[in-house]
Amino acid sequence: MHGITITYEFDGDEAEWESAVQDFINAINNDSEIAGKFTYQVHKAKEGNRRIHWGQWDVPETVQKMQANDYFKIFATKLKEMAGGTLVATPVSNFMKTN
């Protein structure tokens, strides 16, 4: 599995943030070429303004297909704007996990 961890601080309009995240997740779920091959989780830290996103996909071609779609480009732009200069994206490869 391939993946990415995205972290940033957000202290803006909560409804705008939630709408952007929901629109992106809905687009993934409705994309027949991506659904089931790409998973996305979004978390809020229990304290502070930290947000964490985890994306995972099966093969590099899956994420390339997703990144070519308008819904990805729109979300990536919104996320960068909402995060200000705090966004950090870290590509990862799964090493080990529990059963």
What is the structure's pLDDT at 23? 98
DSSP string, 12-79: S-HHHHHHHHHHHHHHHHH-TTTBTTEEEEEEE-SSSSEEEEEEEESSHHHHHHHHTSHHHHHHHHHH
pLDDT of residue 11: 95
Domains of the chain: 2-93 (3.30.70.100)
End-to-end C-alpha distance for the chain, whole angstroms = 15
Sheet holding 88-93, edge to edge: 38-44, 50-57, 2-9, 88-93
- What's the whole-model pTM score? 0.92
Element (H, E) at 94: none
- At residue 1, the pLDDT reads 86
Please report, in tens digits, the pLDDT of each residue of the chain (99 residues total).
Answer: 899 999 999 999 999 999 999 999 999 999 999 999 999 999 999 999 999 999 999 999 999 999 999 999 999 999 999 999 999 999 999 888 898
pLDDT at residue number 50: 98
Q: Is 87 strand, coil or helix? A: coil
Phi, psi of 61 (to 5 degrees): -60, -30
